[in-house]
């Protein structure tokens, strides 16, 4: 199976009466504002090119109106594109017939929404079993099959409750269990945790990360929260006005912002809790001092580096082999907030 689960190429979405005509104007350089003022059309997405890796969490983020929710709804064709291509494991989604698309939605993708999307008159067990019933499994069997997912999200014993009897966080756990129950490889999560209180949101992030360690789903996660994106994302794409501004792993985003918009976006991030030591290490060089795993973040090694005789530490890989070193000055530089685009060399690959 390909390392790329979803490949999006040259994707445009324009809302209005003559969207295909408007694509040419946008390609010629017309801005989103001018397209609306001069032609009464809304630019939703502009030339999106993203490869989403299989079995990883890919975050698509941006502020309100950036096009992130519009984009995720193209993957399962809840929204039809104006032009472009979307392939899922080499299969052209846009060429699928109605029957093929229905089977694709039932078996290959599942979706978790911000507003939970639960059936208020169905029990928790019936909600979780819903996708299986749609697949043709009897309700009794579907409820039995879905029980393990309720256990996995910490809702064992709540099978006979109704959504109104649950807190917001518990309702979102039901939504997550429902999505997982169909055993779809691709999980689409549209602002899934955004409506939750901060502590509950952090709890849901923990649940998702724990599940991902075992399940290795291909997850496309939409959020407007950079802290959330940096915490859960293996890769991040940042949108503005329907266009991808920057994409890369979290270390790329923090250490090598492409433009001033990204710089402004990351200004308030606690860089010491995000940047790992492999990203800024002196590759291949060793020192006398303590050793830390390559995934350790700067905040967790700072005290030991300060206390060491030469203010330095070694970086080791999963086999406990030294792959580089890091010094106090490099840590201090990396933790400092960026005022302009960064030229720091990243070793994170």
212 and 327 assigned to the same domain: no
Q: 324 near 347, Cβ under 8 Å?
A: yes
The residues, any chain, with a CB within 8 Å of residue 222's CB and separated by 6 or more, are 59, 60, 61, 68, 69, 71, 72, 189, 190, 191, 192
pLDDT at residue number 346: 47
255 and 320 assigned to the same domain: no
202 and 322 assigned to the same domain: no
What residues of the chain score a pLDDT lower than 70?
A: 1-2, 116, 337-349
286 and 260 assigned to the same domain: no
**Residue 2 main-chain phi, psi, to 5 deg:** -65, 150
CA–CA distance, 222 with 72 (Å, rounded to integer): 8
pLDDT at residue number 83: 96
Tens of pLDDT, residue by residue over 306-320, are 999 999 999 999 999
| Cα 209 off chain centre by | 11
Counted domains in the chain: 2
177 and 320 assigned to the same domain: no
The residues, any chain, with a CB within 8 Å of residue 248's CB and separated by 6 or more, are 235, 236, 256
The reply to whether 174 falls in a domain is: yes
80 and 24 assigned to the same domain: yes
222 and 288 assigned to the same domain: no
145 and 223 assigned to the same domain: yes
The reply to whether 262 falls in a domain is: yes
The reply to whether 327 falls in a domain is: yes
Q: Which domain holds residue 318?
A: 271-335
pLDDT at residue number 338: 60
8 and 146 assigned to the same domain: yes
Please list the alpha-helical segments (H only) found in 225-347: 226-232, 250-255, 260-266, 277-280, 298-307, 328-335
User: Is the pTM value of this prediction over 0.85?
Assistant: yes
Q: How many CB atoms lie within 10 A of CB 59?
A: 27
Which of 5, 12, 96 lies closest to 49, judged by CA? Answer: 12
The reply to whether 318 falls in a domain is: yes
pLDDT at residue number 349: 41
Q: Residue 326 sits in a domain of what CATH number?
A: 3.90.1280.20
CA distances from 158 to 71, 148, 243 (A): 34, 12, 43
| Termini Cα distance of the chain | 22
315: β partners: 292, 324
Query: Where do the DSSP E strands lie in the chain?
Result: 4-15, 42-53, 57-61, 83-88, 91-92, 109-113, 186-190, 218-223, 235-240, 243-248, 282-283, 291-293, 312-316, 322-327
Q: Residue 59 sits in a domain of what CATH number?
A: 3.40.50.300
292 and 143 assigned to the same domain: no
The reply to whether 66 falls in a domain is: yes
Residue where a domain terminates, one of 222, 239, 266? 266
pLDDT at residue number 98: 94
The reply to whether 346 falls in a domain is: no
CA–CA distance, 336 with 228 (Å, rounded to integer): 21
68: β partners: none
The reply to whether 280 falls in a domain is: yes
Residues constituting the chain: 349
Q: How many CB atoms lie within 10 A of CB 198?
A: 10
226 and 328 assigned to the same domain: no
Give percent of the chain above pLDDT 70: 95
pLDDT at residue number 341: 55
Residue where a domain terminates, one of 250, 266, 282? 266
Tens of pLDDT, residue by residue over 235-246, are 999 999 999 999
The reply to whether 157 falls in a domain is: yes
Residue where a domain terminates, one of 242, 266, 290? 266
């Amino acid at each position: 199976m390909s390392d790329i689960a979803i490949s999006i190429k040259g994707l445009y979405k324009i809302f209005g009466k003559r969207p295909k005509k408007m694509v040419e104007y946008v390609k010629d350089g017309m801005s989103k504002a001018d397209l609306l003022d001069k032609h009464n059309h809304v630019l939703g997405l502009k030339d999106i090119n993203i490869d989403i890796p299989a079995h990883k969490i890919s975050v698509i983020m941006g502020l309100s109106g950036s096009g992130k929710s519009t984009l995720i709804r193209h993957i399962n064709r809840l929204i039809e594109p104006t032009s472009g291509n979307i392939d899922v494991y080499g299969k052209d989604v846009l060429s699928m017939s109605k029957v093929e698309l229905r089977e694709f939605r039932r078996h290959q993708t599942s979706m978790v929404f911000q507003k939970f999307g639960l059936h208020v008159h169905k029990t928790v067990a019936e909600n979780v079993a819903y996708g299986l019933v749609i697949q043709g499994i009897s309700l009794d069997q579907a409820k039995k099959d879905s029980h393990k997912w309720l256990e996995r999200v910490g809702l064992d014993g709540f099978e006979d409750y109704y959504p109104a009897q649950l807190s917001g966080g518990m309702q979102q756990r039901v939504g997550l269990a429902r999505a997982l129950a169909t055993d779809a490889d691709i999980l689409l999560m549209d602002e899934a945790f955004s409506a939750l209180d901060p502590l509950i949101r952090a709890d849901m992030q923990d649940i998702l990360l724990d599940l991902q360690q075992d399940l290795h789903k291909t997850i496309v996660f939409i959020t407007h929260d950079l802290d959330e994106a940096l915490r859960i994302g293996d890769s991040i794409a940042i949108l503005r006005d329907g266009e991808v501004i920057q994409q890369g792993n979290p270390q790329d985003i923090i250490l090598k912002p492409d433009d001033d918009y990204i710089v402004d976006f990351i200004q308030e991030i606690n860089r010491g809790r995000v940047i790992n030591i492999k990203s800024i290490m002196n590759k291949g060089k060793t020192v006398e001092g303590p050793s830390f795993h390559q995934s350790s973040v700067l905040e967790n090694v700072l005290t030991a580096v300060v206390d060491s005789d030469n203010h330095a530490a070694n970086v080791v890989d999963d086999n406990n082999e030294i792959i580089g070193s890091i010094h106090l000055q490099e840590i201090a530089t990396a933790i400092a907030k960026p005022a302009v685009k960064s030229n720091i060399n990243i070793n994170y690959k």
